[in-house]
Structure 1
Amino acid sequence: MTLTIGTGPFGDQSTGTFNFEVTAPRNHPLYLEDSPRRVRVVFAGETVADSRSVKLLHEKNHLPVYYFPEEDVRRDLLEETDHTTHCPFKGDASYWSVKVGDRVAENAVWGYPEPLDSAPPLKGLVAFYWKAMDAWFEEEEEVFVHPRDPYHRVDVLESSRRVKVSVSGEVLAETDRPKVLFETGLPPRYYIPPEDVRREALRPSEKETRCPYKGVASYYSVEAGGELLEDIVWYYPEPIPAVAGIVDHLCFFNEKVDLEVDGERQKKPRTQWS
């Protein structure tokens, strides 16, 4: 999913090879880089951080984290706390709570006043727990779940492959005009036009998930083979512009259905991320 997770070059499932020794870096790599994006953090209607000089930290087995220069953070909205933590790779972290009116996000901000010599240059930078804040923006576009990793790619391609989706021998969808979504670290996802899906088998679901690279997904359950299969179909009513081609197309979890592509039965992948 990133440089340091899963199949990424420094992830624990990496299958690629280098022409130099990487044993030590793969143990626990840390990589801090400049981001060209303006990033804003909002809490209780106030912009708590607004930076055009934000840094992005990549760390093994962690999602990327934005670190803000202290001068780009509303220090008047922060209250230092006694809470501390220790990271063997970065050092001792100090914490601050965010307080706006009657709302408080306790220990939502951290920084490393004296990072370890072996750590990246984190001094003078602070980070926010993503879920503790109300909204995040990259430029003027709201971003969900975590920062968008610049090394994570999503492509939506029109295809003429013949795709058939079945459960217990019952065909749920069949098309020769899918949109195939290729996403770093995930199996190909086949998005099927709604006209090519057996709509009578779909049951409304209240489930909703968010993806930083695609937007907000809605779900359907499926009644097939005499049973109800919950939340195995998703779609994006308003995907972000980068993947606009999948709007309202339906996608079945490869992991939970029988999927054939050009007559060939597909192996069920281990991951269940949409």
Structure 2
Amino acid sequence: MPGPTKDSLDLDADMTGVQMRDAMGQLLQKLRYEPTAKRIRATLGGRTVVDTTRAMLVWEPRRVVPGYAVPYQDIHAEISLRSSTPLENDAVGFMLPDLSKVPVFDPRIPFDVRTTAGEPVEVRVPETDAAAAGFRAHDPGLADHVILAFADFDTWFEEDDEIISHPHDPYGRIDIRGTSRHVQLMLDGHVLADTTRARMLFETNLPARYYLPMEDVVAPLEPSSTSSMCSYKGYATWYSATIGDQRVDDIAWQYEHPLSDAADVRDYVAFLDERLDLVIDGEQQKRSVTPWS
């Protein structure tokens, strides 16, 4: 049986393993794009102004979720240059120290915080005067495409399913697993929740979340006026808690009508353990640092 060749031995000698998170962190500071086979549609001012099977997913530098870039020919509205002063990006962003040494941009960071060379444009529906921001990047891979501000449009669809918050990342996902670990959430010695019936939600590049049966929550919870949405999980209701003699606002959330990917945490409640003491099987965990810390 022939042995390895010299070339293969040299190749093996030059290859060094890399942790995937480190590789993703290095790519985070680059402009990234990927074609999608999905039909993408968007409405603006009550009209369908985007309808394409040639869209690209685009991650501008430091952005952790993608946007859509659409060919000019597939945008059925007026497109013109717009004046825009790029917002300073050095002082904005959120730390994800496990992933990046520089602040990252999540969907809360405005579209016009720019780290890519190019020209701002506007997409306008003359009949209704509805308008949305866009950006034409000076990159050959995105020639003849416009990156569109997701939040400026009325609705987005991948095929026939509505998409909320931002496009789905083909390299990110969520997994939900039941666990019998002993999970306790505490603050200043007060127990908020205590369970061995949690469901763990694993999401790419984020700490694991523990979703707990409401019956195992000890601290009184009161619905707040805050709401949020997640592209993978749906719309969340938030709660404030009374802990000892203090009230802690917006410390927990619940998906009462989750999207299909998150069906297994329906009616379970999760806590921002970045701001609490999380104890697993009797061992206190180090508090994670995330954009919600």
Q: TM-score, normalised by structure 1?
A: 0.81
Give the whole-Å Cα distance in 1 for the aligned partners of 2:125 and 2:186.
52
CA contact (8 A) 1:8 1:185 kept: no
Give the whole-Å Cα distance in 1 for the aligned partners of 2:25 and 2:202.
19
State the match for 2:38 in structure 1.
37
Give the whole-Å Cα distance in 2 for the aligned partners of 1:168 and 1:42.
49
* Greater share of residues in strand: 1
Does residue 1:123 correspond to 2:116, yes or no?
Answer: no
- Quote how far apart the aligned CAs of 1:142 are: 2.2
Give the whole-Å Cα distance in 1 for the aligned partners of 2:172 and 2:127.
38
Does residue 1:92 correspond to 2:93, yes or no?
Answer: no
Does residue 1:232 correspond to 2:234, yes or no?
Answer: no
State the match for 2:23 in structure 1.
9
Secondary structure of 2:176's partner? Answer: strand
Which of these residues, 205, 209, 221, is aligned with residue 202 of structure 1?
A: 221
- Quote how far apart the aligned CAs of 1:181 are: 0.4
Matched-pair identity in %: 35
- Quote how far apart the aligned CAs of 1:89 are: 7.8
CA contact (8 A) 1:111 1:125 kept: yes
Runs of 5+ unmatched residues, structure 2: 1-20, 87-112
CA shift in 2, pair 1:88/1:246, >3 Å:
closer
Give the whole-Å Cα distance in 2 for the aligned partners of 1:173 and 1:82.
51
Give the whole-Å Cα distance in 2 for the aligned partners of 1:256 and 1:45.
41
Q: TM-score, normalised by structure 2?
A: 0.76
Secondary structure of 1:216's partner? Answer: strand
Give the whole-Å Cα distance in 1 for the aligned partners of 2:192 and 2:52.
48
CA shift in 2, pair 1:165/1:253, >3 Å:
same
Secondary structure of 2:83's partner? Answer: strand
**Structural RMSD (CA):** 2.6
Which of these residues, 62, 77, 102, is aligned with residue 128 of structure 2?
A: 102
| Structure 2 counterparts to residues 30-69 of structure 1, below 5 A | 30-62=31-63, 63-69=65-71
Give the whole-Å Cα distance in 1 for the aligned partners of 2:81 and 2:36.
29
Runs of 5+ unmatched residues, structure 1: 1-6, 13-25
Give the whole-Å Cα distance in 2 for the aligned partners of 1:260 and 1:239.
27
CA contact (8 A) 2:61 2:115 kept: no
Give the whole-Å Cα distance in 2 for the aligned partners of 1:89 and 1:193.
42
Give the whole-Å Cα distance in 1 for the aligned partners of 2:44 and 2:258.
24
CA contact (8 A) 2:172 2:203 kept: yes
